[in-house]
Amino acid sequence: MQGGTAATRGPSRSRLRAFGPALVAATLWGLSGTASQALFQRYGFPAPALVTLRMLVSGAILLAVLRPRLPSVAPARFLAFSVLGLYGVQLTFFLAIAYSNATTTTLLQSLSLPMMAGYEIAVEGRRPDRRWAAAVALAVTGTVLLILGRSGGLGLAVTPLGLAFGLLSAVTAAYYILAARPMIRSSGSWPTVTWGFLVGGAASLPLGLLSLTGYPGAGAALGAVVGLGGFVIVFGTLLAFGLFLTTLGPLTATEAGVAGTMEPIAAALASLAFLGVLLAPLQYLGGALVLVGVFLLAPASRRPAAPDVGARRLGGGTGPSLPGRGGG
């Protein structure tokens, strides 16, 4: 690719614009994590059932509104992405929250960022420049400070099951992001996420129904449970995953992961607003480092450092956007 041509400038602008939806998605995930913790620990709602509901309801809504075609992907490959990736990352994330808390889980899942960076360097042959390496380092450091810098205690609840599911959520997060990119390039983001939700949700149905057998019901708290669950389904699932996956054509997995480090910032602010958890100076510093990392990486996207075959396709509209949201 030659610098200064129209073909080069088009994909570069597409890459730069992709940071917006990624930041919105990460913010929604951060808010959703706080809502999920309230559902699990305050109202006793089972995590597997919430995963089933959010996947099937979100998939059904997208199917009814967008009517996307089936992705042109090998069935076994798409099944692995839907079950091990989309379903796996949500189940392990929620179980980690249930056995610890949103703070601990967010910290553990942030390990997916260095995992993806290592994969792109070792397997895909990426040659990181200084700006890219600095952005990743700032994002990781800022996330650690943001989560561990709480005054009066770390706010961590590291139980054996919480640790195990948190580490699994990092692995499955890295896998689904890396696996989604070629599918999005060939089939589009919204067909991939719609049918991924439906296939993964169908696979989750037996465990989801089984987990509800011992649930006593919400009783007087029914309105709160429905409201929190609706927020997790619509904003933390349908919009968040849909918007984030639209970025994986123009952006590399690591670049999208850096934008995703906005999630703990949103979680910390939600804890401050709704749970009364005050932020410490180190947490503000961590949030600032994350923001610097994101904005340091975004200008780098203007430079065509590496060819991206799928960026041109996605930039041309591989899938329809949700009404009122230019996230495609």
Helix intervals (H) in the chain: 6-17, 19-41, 47-66, 75-80, 88-99, 102-109, 112-122, 130-148, 160-187, 189-212, 222-233, 240-246, 253-259, 262-274, 281-300, 309-315
Tell me what pLDDT residue 288 has. Answer: 81
Domain span including residue 210? 9-214+224-306
Taking the C-alpha atoms of residue 102 and residue 34, their distance in angstroms, rounded to an integer, is: 6
Which pair of structure tokens corresponds to residue 116? 């993806």
Q: Return all residues near 44 (Cβ < 8 A) that are at least 6 apart.
A: 215, 216
Distance CA 1, CA 219 (A): 62
Counting the structural domains of the chain, the total is 1
For residue 1, what pLDDT is reported? 34
Residue 188 lies in a domain: yes
Please indicate, yes or no, if residue 168 is contained in any of the structural domains. Answer: yes
**pTM for the whole structure:** 0.74
Quote the pLDDT of residue 107: 74
Q: Is residue 92 part of a domain?
A: yes
Using alpha carbons, select from 63, 149, 50, 147 the residue that is nearest to residue 100.
147
Residue 55 confidence (pLDDT): 95
Report the Cα–Cα distance between both ends of the chain, in Å, rounded: 24
pLDDT at 274: 65
Residues 48, 55: contact at Cβ < 8 Å? no
Residue 327 included in any domain: no
| 321 part of a folded domain | no
Report if residue 116 sits inside a domain.
yes
Q: Evaluate whether residue 260 is within a structural domain.
A: yes
* Tens of each residue's pLDDT in the chain, 328 residues: 333 333 334 445 656 676 778 778 888 887 887 788 788 888 888 889 999 999 999 999 999 999 999 998 899 999 999 999 999 999 998 888 888 777 677 778 878 888 888 888 888 787 777 877 888 888 888 877 766 766 555 556 667 888 889 889 999 999 999 999 889 888 988 999 999 999 999 999 999 999 988 787 767 688 888 999 999 999 989 998 888 888 877 777 877 777 777 776 776 676 667 656 666 777 778 778 877 877 776 654 444 444 433 333 333 333 322 223 333 3
Domain assignment of residue 193, yes or no: yes
* Amino acid 5: pLDDT: 36
